[in-house]
Amino acid sequence: MYLADEAWPDLEAYFESESLAIVPLGSTEQHGPHLPLATDHAIAEAFATEVSERTGYLRTPTVTVGVSPHHRQFPGTAWVDADVFRDYVESYVRNLTYHGIDRVVFVNAHGGNVQHLREVGRRLRDDDVAYAIEWMWDESIPNLVDEAFEHNGPHAGPKETALIQHLHPDLVHDDRLAEARDGGAPDPEASIRTQNGAATFYDTVENSANGSFGDPTDATAERGAELFDAASEQLEALCEWLAARDWAELRAPERVSRE
């Protein structure tokens, strides 16, 4: 069920019987010369839509701009400051709690959002208003992702390329896959700038000239479909697990006492 497509009487019935919402979030940022800026939020929305349709749980509109200042050197990248993002998402969830939602799954596809969504989740639980947890598709199936590609990458690499080839093939510049590999960081571990155990970079362009990491020429739509189905199963199971929890299980633990 997609919130924005429904009339309010039908949503009223949902809120009377259910208390979980799926909130997709991503970014609008460069993903190498071969993928669209929409990559992250398109992936998040696809997973949220698929699992909402499988389970009947409510899906909200997608948060399409995230915390992406580290990609700012690439034309078109959009971002908001971290504190603005946190406050916006927290307010968004508090709005949902007004209607009866008390548990949320953040379907997130952008690494730059992770720590901020965790902070929002802590704030909401500490105030005893909602239990919100962050989920990323590739972290739900790490072994499958690792085995799928010889030269993976954390950003604009084969795993994201394969998903977009599956979900939105018309948005992939297949003629630029070799360019993405050769002009980027085909060996991500070797390209990340460090010195004596310290990271010596702040922006993506310092580690990859064209914003791509890994070897996207290894990606196929068929592999993307396999990854999408496997991660969707994980998200479905997570939603069912969270919906079945008693609120007492989700609340913050009491302060520890020696007595």
Q: Helix crossing, 158-167 with 39-55: angle to 10°?
A: 60
Query: Does the pLDDT at position 143 exceed 90?
Result: yes
For the chain, give the number of residues.
259
CB 15 within 8 A of CB 101: yes
Classify burial at 196, counting beta carbons within 10 Å of its beta carbon; exposed 0-12, middle 13-18, buried 19 or more. exposed
Query: Does the pLDDT at position 190 exceed 90?
Result: no
Element (H, E) at 92: helix 82-98
Query: Does the pLDDT at position 158 exceed 80?
Result: yes
pTM: 0.96
Q: Which residues lie below 8 Å from residue 58, measured CB to CB, with a gap of 6+? A: 1, 2, 3, 11, 14, 18, 20, 21, 22, 52, 101
Distance CA(18)–CA(85), nearest Å, equals: 27
Q: Residue 189's CB: how many other CB atoms inside 10 A?
A: 8
DSSP percent split of the chain into helix, strand, coil, nearest 5 = 55, 10, 35
Instruction: Please state the rounded mean pLDDT for residues 151-172.
Output: 97
Please give the pLDDT value at position 258: 82
Distance CA(73)–CA(30), nearest Å, equals: 9
Please give the pLDDT value at position 238: 98
Query: Does the pLDDT at position 122 exceed 80?
Result: yes
Q: Helix crossing, 82-98 with 114-126: angle to 10°?
A: 40
Three-state secondary-structure class, residue 198: strand
CB 191 within 8 A of CB 208: yes
Q: Which pLDDT tens digit goes with each residue over 4-18?
A: 999 999 999 999 999
Q: Which pLDDT tens digit goes with each residue over 201-240?
A: 999 999 999 999 999 999 999 999 999 999 999 999 999 9
Query: Does the pLDDT at position 259 exceed 80?
Result: no
Domain ranges of the chain: 3-250
Backbone phi, psi, residue 107, to 5°:
-85, 95
* CATH (one of 1.20.1250.20, 3.40.50.10310, 3.10.20.30, 3.30.300.30) for 3-250: 3.40.50.10310
CB 212 within 8 A of CB 155: yes
